[in-house]
Amino acid sequence: MRTELSFAPLARIETELLAVLAADTQTDKGPDAKPAPALLTADEAVKAAAAAVLASGEFKAGANETVLIHAPTGLKAKRLLLVGLGKEAKATVHGVRAAAGTAVRYTKPRGIRKLVFALPESEAISLPASARAAAEGAFVGNFDADTYRSDRKDVSVQSFTAVAPAGAEKAAVEAAFAEGVIVGESQNFTRALVNEPGNVLTPTEFGKRAAAMAEGVGLKWEVHSTEKLRELKMGAFLSVAQGSEEPPALIVLRYEPAGVADGPLIGLVGKGITFDTGGISIKPADNMEKMKYDMAGGAAMLGAMRAIALLKPKVRVLCVVCASENMPDGKAQKPGDVQTAMSGKTIEIINTDAEGRLVLADGLAYAKQLGATHLIDAATLTGAVGVALGKINAGSFSNDDATYDKFSASLATSGEAFWRLPLGEEYAELIKSDIADIKNTGGRYGGAITAAEFLKVFAEDTPWIHLDIAGLAWNDDNKPWIAKGPTGVAVRSILEWVRSY
């Protein structure tokens, strides 16, 4: 999608479709209070063109509500689309991101290729922040998961122009808009990987895609396989890979900005299970096809690395993705087996379906060995996190409050929803083993937490954040601003957290 930023008066823009935001300005909360939709633009011509629709009461400016006006009088645009932001008092830049996505997804199936989007004029929402969010939202909205459909028509929006009011601080708005393009494209890079079926995206192919991306944006990369895993004594990672015909891939990317020789080295570690059957503790057939997205944490790390390479923060970043299939075969590991992880810790395998924590155990240890001073991992780790938090918040954990506070602050920019869950000695008790140092499951209750406790053993005393994105990495339904399918969750938050160093 081509993007452009314009400072032209809205009424004079010739386009197929002009989208303008509206908010409900009603502050009275009484039972008889009617919605009072108002446009978030000072442009008199646009206001006049929309006046009748706003007065009709048909459009309430609810969040992502839309109404289309054909041949709007007084405008050069052929159509005027109003997109709601909800209550004005509660409107945020995150609403603008969604509204841009909604505008794109409204436009897309109607064969309209060019969209002009008026950035809202509102005291509460800064113009640069809304320019960035609009670009992100537009890219996110333009993505659909229908890659392999023969009847797929290329109906993507091909041109997106954001319009800022004249008098805006041009340089700041331009820089923010350019950032939004990078972030939106990086999130879609992740989504495209997550969408790939397991037969296409094997661990080897995952490594190739990571390498191609790294080449494209100028990151250093290495992709290793079984031999290197043996050399590093990655017994936990290898135990998952041993049941598959497909060799594992240990993907390592490095961002080393010129002139930054010391200071923190941020380690991103991703779970890259390209298909999770459960192994010998095999999963039921229902919904097993979904387990192609069990590499979403690894893909999120690659998307974040892409954005980091292009946005060039002044901090060194290392990325380790542990890619493998989890399959049952004659060589697969069995419940009761004991494995020795790279760190030397021994693990009793209770359930071969708790494989994510095994590959991450060695991924975390390797990132530490390579010098990481701060760690973050992302993984579709447990069904239990979805039981705890629904498909509303992803789960987050940390062994260090100061590190987590920085992550928490990043959420204000990313707009993503993570809820911090507790860790603690009583949970750690649940993964003690009779035969080995720890076991790989802690029972049904608090499953997301005991999984995090397992990872904490390998993060040791390095400041570390764990993101369990199992509930949010895949949308089961279409939403006005984002398609059904892979979401690319965590890319934006990880990026902002890295930039905070």
User: Binding mask 329-368 vs Zn ion (x if CB under 5 A, - otherwise)?
Assistant: ---------------------------x------------
Structure tokens at 226: 């079984």
Instruction: Name residues contacting Mn ion, limited to 252-281 (CB under 5 A).
Output: 276
Q: How far apart are CA 396 and CA 388, in angstroms?
A: 12
Of the candidates 447, 463, 486, 488, which one interacts with ligand BES according to CB under 6 A?
A: 447
Stretch that binds Mn ion, among 96-104, 139-147, 232-240, 348-356 (CB under 5 A): 348-356
Residue 382 contacts which entry, Zn ion, ligand BES, Mn ion, none (Cβ below 5-8 A, type-dependent): ligand BES
- According to the binding rule CB under 5 A, does residue 496 interact with Mn ion? no
User: Binding mask 257-286 vs ligand BES (x if CB under 6 A, - otherwise)?
Assistant: -------------------x----------
- Look up residue 119 and give its DSSP letter: P
Q: How far apart are CA 444 and CA 152, in angstroms?
A: 42
Known catalytic residues are: 283, 357
Instruction: Name residues contacting ligand BES, limited to 285-314 (CB under 6 A).
Output: 294
- According to the binding rule CB under 6 A, does residue 441 interact with ligand BES? yes
Taking residue 382's Cβ as centre, other Cβ atoms within 10 Å add up to 24
Instruction: Name residues contacting Mn ion, limited to 167-226 (CB under 5 A).
Output: none
What single string gives the DSSP state of each residue in 319-376? Answer: EEEEEEEE--STTS--TT-EEE-TTS-EEE-S-TT--HHHHHHHHHHHHHHTT-SEEE
Find where tokens 């794109």 sit.
Answer: 104
Give the residue nearest to Mn ion (CB).
353
Q: How far apart are CA 229 and CA 207, in angstroms?
A: 15
Task: Supply φ then ψ for residue 211, to 5 degrees.
Answer: -65, -45
Stretch that binds Zn ion, among 82-90, 203-211, 222-230, 293-301 (CB under 5 A): 293-301
User: Binding mask 358-397 vs ligand BES (x if CB under 6 A, - otherwise)?
Assistant: ----------------------x-xxx-------------
**Distance in Å, CB of 267 to ligand BES, minimum:** 22
Of the candidates 353, 377, 453, 496, which one interacts with Mn ion according to CB under 5 A?
A: 353
Residues binding ligand BES: number (CB under 6 A) = 14
Give the residue nearest to ligand BES (CB).
383
Q: What torsion do the CA atoms of 399, 320, 144, 113 make, to the nearest 10 degrees?
A: 110
Find where tokens 């079926």 sit.
Answer: 197
Residues binding Mn ion: number (CB under 5 A) = 3
Give the residue nearest to Zn ion (CB).
276
Nearer to ligand BES, 353 or 377 (CB): 353
At a CB cut-off of 8 Å and minimum separation 6, what does 133 contact? 93, 94, 96, 97, 100, 180, 415
58 by Cβ neighbours in 10 Å (0-12 / 13-18 / 19+) ranks as exposed
Q: How far apart are CA 280 and CA 138, in angstroms?
A: 43
Instruction: Name residues contacting ligand BES, limited to 326-365 (CB under 6 A).
Output: 351, 353-356
**Distance in Å, CB of 380 to Zn ion, minimum:** 6
Closest to 414 measured CA to CA, from 467, 365, 374, 457: 467
**Distance in Å, CB of 439 to Zn ion, minimum:** 17
CA 429 vs CA 290, 381, 400, 424, 454: distances in Å: 32, 20, 20, 9, 11
Residues that bind ligand BES (CB under 6 A): 276, 294, 351, 353-356, 380, 382-384, 441, 447, 470
Residues that bind Zn ion (CB under 5 A): 273, 276, 294, 356
